[in-house]
Structure 1
Amino acid sequence: MDSARPDHPADPWPAPRARGRVDAVVSLPGSKSLTNRALLLASVAEGPSVVRRALRSRDTLLMATALTGLGSQVDTTGEDWVVTPAAFAGDTDVDCGLAGTVMRFVPPVAGLSTGTVAFDGDPHMRNRPVGQVLTALRTLGVEVDDGGRGGLPFAVRGTGTVPGGRVVLDASGSSQFVSALLLAGARYDRGVDLVHEGKPVPSLPHVEMTVAMLREHGVDVDDGDADRWRVSPGPVAAVDHDIEPDLSNAAPFLALAAVSGGSVVVRGWPTATNQAGDALRDILAAMGCTVDRVDEGLRVTGPEPVAGAHSGLQGVDLDLHDVGELAPAVAALCAVATSPSHLRGIAHIRAHETDRITALATELGALGAEVEERPDGLSLRPSALHGGTWHTYADHRMAHAGVIVGAAVDGVLVEDVATTSKTFPDFADFWSSLL
């Protein structure tokens, strides 16, 4: 995975330093994961539906555009997006951008079209794995032309129906391989009987999210056996969805409380959710924060900063296999903690928007962190950090990690902070307003 730094850093942005306690109440945009699943299910449903408080970001607009190209009508003009499904027909091009959900979730639906659907995206997306999905689609009866690359660009040539049936794949590279096939499975003639063979599937909460949403749409899903999911063929009911706040996007804001000894409340934190970001409650508590549910949502209060240190946080030893998307923010917090940390189980994040393990080791090390890169994670020891340019590699989670370090360390410049628009438009202005 190419994690090379850009030769000419774009618009390095001075990350604001937290000079004292940060006390704030924040409202977050909606979940990207929930929004894109809701949009896709709405496009294959029996009638129109509404996605309320949809996240408006590059990834979700790319999904809406892709589904519109296939034939559905997706009205994104308001806060609540209206989806009117229609038969998928005609040739179209799909721009995946840097959205893994578009690259992986849309092809199984494109198999239901009567046209040729061509997929491509940003240059880095050609390195991200999708071959397991394409091979599985061929097994299920879909014609896919990828020139033998197992990646972008590729084309799906639909015939209007997909036979479906049993398929075996290795989803150890991404839980999205499983979700992609489950989301379309009910529309296949024989449904989908999916078996995973390989190392454990990462980020299982995302698969659980997919299964829960399918059931909300009346789809019969059997997940009673380990590493096997069976989706019965049948109609997909039209269901309106209320999109929860994006809890993974809460990480940098709760980190402000953690590093400053302040208190931050995230409004609308759900009492029950399948979002991986909910794990922040336990992670921050383990690092010495106080975590409370309050009327407005979730409140995190950081420990009193230690004199001569960057924070009062304790180091942790964590297996983040199921919540790998939190690793950049957690690594940033570990870099300013007062005792050693070990983050494990996240080899799969090397194939995210960038090789996040190498990128984190490189950027933290450049700012003075004592960090050791391991095949499946990072080890960090307390050290005196200094300012410098933090490169993001066009990765929004890397930008989040950079601003967290910048809140605790003087002189951190975040290159291409605008990449945060992937899941949080106007992030930089909002962040600055809190500091």
Structure 2
Amino acid sequence: MTAAASATHADPPTDLWPAPYARGAVDATVTVPGSKSVTNRALVLAALASEPGWLRRPLRSRDTLLMAEALRTLGVRIEETVSSSSAAGSPDVSGEAWRVLPSPLRGPATVDVGNAGTVMRFLPPVAALADGPVRFDGDPRSHERPLHGVIDALRALGARVDDEGRGALPMTVHGAGGLDGGTVEIDASSSSQFVSALLLSAPRFNQGVEVRHVGSRLPSLPHIRMTVDMLRAVGAQVDEPEHGGAPNVWRVAPSALRGRDLVIEPDLSNAQPFLAAALVTGGRVTVPDWPARTTQPGDALREIFTEMGGSCELTEAGLTFTGTGRIHGIDVDLGEVGELTPGIAAVAALADSPSTLRGVAHLRLHETDRLAALTKEINELGGDVTETEDGLHIRPRPLHGGVFHTYHDHRMATAGAIIGLAVEGVEIEDVATTAKTLPDFPRMWTEMLGA
């Protein structure tokens, strides 16, 4: 089934979760678990380092556990502990910690990617460094998600990859214990992860790598900036467009990588539904430990949700977002922060004026076709959403209760929960899919509401 088809068809509803309806303004402090994007990048870099490293407060979710288990399958030791010690410069990082001890990468091995884009895209270049074949497979939806950018690039850099011409999973990377590297051109317009995948392993390539993006607009640039910043933090030399390099060209020199003692930031994109709750109910939500400087796309919520009718204050205690009881429509380009689209669409469906969300055509290739799915699910609750070439146009209308299908997409589930705050009778199908990046979401949501 194609992505578009899967988003316009839903299985008979099972495991329906009644989305809590807010009967007043929320007033809560919500501690959000660690960033999936940072955790999975940190795991890859620690596995490729020349010395052990620590990840403190890592996210434990389906996607990150899949990444950790995949690296273990390739021979990397990852020890999970409860730590009361501190990383350098951090006064209190008690809680869970993962110690990563790099080892020679080996095959044969089989990697289960689930439906995690970071696992299916970041690990094939790592597998090219292993000694032996590594097979990649995952959930049925993973077979529909594009991998051609990584597969074609690896072949151009000297790796042998068997995918039977699909440009997608399942596939096998025949590791030869190393990779020459060099210059490669890719079209990463469908996913910035194609660029990040090559950059993360590049220091271990014999010649490093020069990645040239040759397609149309490159989405989700903050995630590439995150990759570059994290590479530099472990000793890699990276030239990028924003620092005097050529447009859409990234260069990573070959080098050894240091082990790092890293405290994982809260996942700011996963903070979105809780901030949205303040906006929708005219309440107040504080998210502790919100970083003053970050490359996470979720930081854009401060500006976007303020424009939609709220206000925020960043202090040492974290970010406090306050709603006014009114929600305004917005015309916004979300090309760099596409993962925020489902939550913004949910809020926009409750606004007092129309919204246009632009620059997110690539969302048709995510966990599901998010543009088709959002259109269908909001409209079936009485909304008026129209797909455009690169986004959504949302005209607010009175909504009613009903089943909100998720298509095994965690951000669809949280979008439905946001709507349920203001619309009685919304039931979320398969809310457990939120465990992909936000374990225990239903409990966190009901506790936020004081239930």
Under a length normalisation based on structure 2, what TM-score does the superposition of the two structures give?
0.94
1:26-56 Cα offsets, whole Å, 9 max, x none, are: 1000000000000000000001100010000
User: 3-state DSSP class of the match of 1:117?
Assistant: strand
CA distance in 1, matches of 2:255, 2:408: 40
User: Does structure 1 residue 415 correspond to structure 2 residue 419?
Assistant: no
Letter in 2 for 1:280: L
Residue 265 of structure 1 corresponds to 286
User: Does structure 1 residue 38 correspond to structure 2 residue 42?
Assistant: yes
Letter in 2 for 1:226: P
Letter in 2 for 1:105: F
User: 3-state DSSP class of the match of 1:213?
Assistant: helix
Decide which of 13, 19, 29 is 1:25's aligned counterpart. 29
Decide which of 100, 109, 115 is 1:98's aligned counterpart. 115
CA distance in 2, matches of 1:277, 1:57: 18
Residue 68 of structure 1 corresponds to 72
Residue 6 of structure 1 corresponds to 10
Cα displacement (A) at 1:254: 0.4
Cα pair 2:29 2:448 within 8 Å, conserved: no
User: Does structure 1 residue 185 correspond to structure 2 residue 214?
Assistant: no
CA distance in 2, matches of 1:10, 1:207: 38
Decide which of 41, 62, 65 is 1:58's aligned counterpart. 62
Pairing of 1:98-247 with structure 2 (within 5 A): 98-223=115-240, 224-247=245-268
Residue 89 of structure 2 corresponds to none
Decide which of 279, 284, 300 is 2:321's aligned counterpart. 300
1:8-37 Cα offsets, whole Å, 9 max, x none, are: 212010000111110001100000000000
1:218-266 Cα offsets, whole Å, 9 max, x none, are: 0000112210000001111111211000000010000110000000001
Residue 371 of structure 1 corresponds to 385
User: 3-state DSSP class of the match of 2:314?
Assistant: strand
User: Does structure 1 residue 382 correspond to structure 2 residue 384?
Assistant: no
Residue 281 of structure 1 corresponds to 302
Under a length normalisation based on structure 1, what TM-score does the superposition of the two structures give?
0.97
Cα pair 1:163 1:188 within 8 Å, conserved: yes
Cα pair 2:8 2:372 within 8 Å, conserved: no
User: 3-state DSSP class of the match of 2:204?
Assistant: coil
Letter in 2 for 1:300: F
Stretches (4+) displaced over 3 A: none
Residue 85 of structure 2 corresponds to none
User: 3-state DSSP class of the match of 2:336?
Assistant: helix
CA distance in 1, matches of 2:59, 2:256: 26
Cα pair 2:108 2:133 within 8 Å, conserved: yes
Which stretch of structure 1 is more off in the superposition, 221-230 or 327-336? 221-230
Which stretch of structure 1 is more off in the superposition, 178-187 or 234-243? 234-243
CA distance in 2, matches of 1:386, 1:89: 54
Cα pair 2:107 2:175 within 8 Å, conserved: no
1:280-302 Cα offsets, whole Å, 9 max, x none, are: 00001100101111331001110
Cα displacement (A) at 1:201: 0.8
Which stretch of structure 1 is more off in the superposition, 234-243 or 335-344? 234-243
Letter in 2 for 1:292: E
1:348-382 Cα offsets, whole Å, 9 max, x none, are: 01100000000000000000111111121111112
Q: CA RMSD for the aligned pairs? A: 0.8
Cα pair 1:266 1:299 within 8 Å, conserved: yes
User: 3-state DSSP class of the match of 2:236?
Assistant: coil
Cα displacement (A) at 1:77: 4.5
Cα pair 2:383 2:397 within 8 Å, conserved: yes
1:377-406 Cα offsets, whole Å, 9 max, x none, are: 111112100000000000000001000000
Percent sequence identity over matched residues?
56
CA distance in 2, matches of 1:235, 1:290: 45
User: 3-state DSSP class of the match of 2:337?
Assistant: helix
How many residue pairs get matched? 428
Residue 326 of structure 1 corresponds to 340
CA distance in 1, matches of 2:8, 2:308: 31
